[in-house]
Amino acid sequence: MEHPETIRVAENLALTYHSQGQWREAEKLQAEVLEQSRRLLGMEHPDTIEAAGSLAAIYCAGDGWHKACNLLESAVQLSMQVLGKHHPYTQNVTKELSLVYEELGRSEESQEMEDVLLS
């Protein structure tokens, strides 16, 4: 994956695997997408931030809540910096982090993310 378009195609395939319940294939491919996106585009590129969110969603589907939490915390921080608090993707990834916090029994942090969404 040496070209951004190749990364996008691979991500679409990973999301297809995810939608078909092929968690291992989806996770493996999406992890590669994230790694290559970070390498080629940089940590703060919107596509890289979205790739992290997509991998987190795959982790959630496979009960990898702690892995998802780490990725989402980073994605929320970068998304707020790069895209802004009111960008639809920032809102979406913040909501996802709130749900993961809730799933992990971290209700106070979940509420903090909800408050961020409302402010």
Domain spans of the chain? 4-118
Q: Is residue 90 very low, low, confident or very high in pLDDT (cuts 50, 70, 90)?
A: very high
Q: Which of 27, 23, 21, 20 is nearest to 10 (CA)?
A: 27
pLDDT above 90 (res 62): no
Q: For residues 32 and 38, what is the distance between their CA atoms, to the nearest angstrom?
A: 10
Q: What angle do CA 113, 75, 92 make, to 5 degrees?
A: 55
For helices 46-61 and 88-103, the axis angle rounded to 10 degrees is: 30
Q: Are 37 and 58 in contact (CB under 8 A)?
A: no
The chain-wide mean pLDDT, for the chain, equals 93
Return the CATH fold of 4-118. Answer: 1.25.40
Write down the pLDDT at residue 3: 85
H runs (alpha helix) in 1-119:
4-19, 23-41, 46-61, 65-82, 88-103, 107-118
Rounded to the nearest 5 degrees, what angle is found at the Cα of 42, between the Cα atoms of 54 and 53? 15
pLDDT of 1 above 80:
no
What is the structure's pLDDT at 82?
94
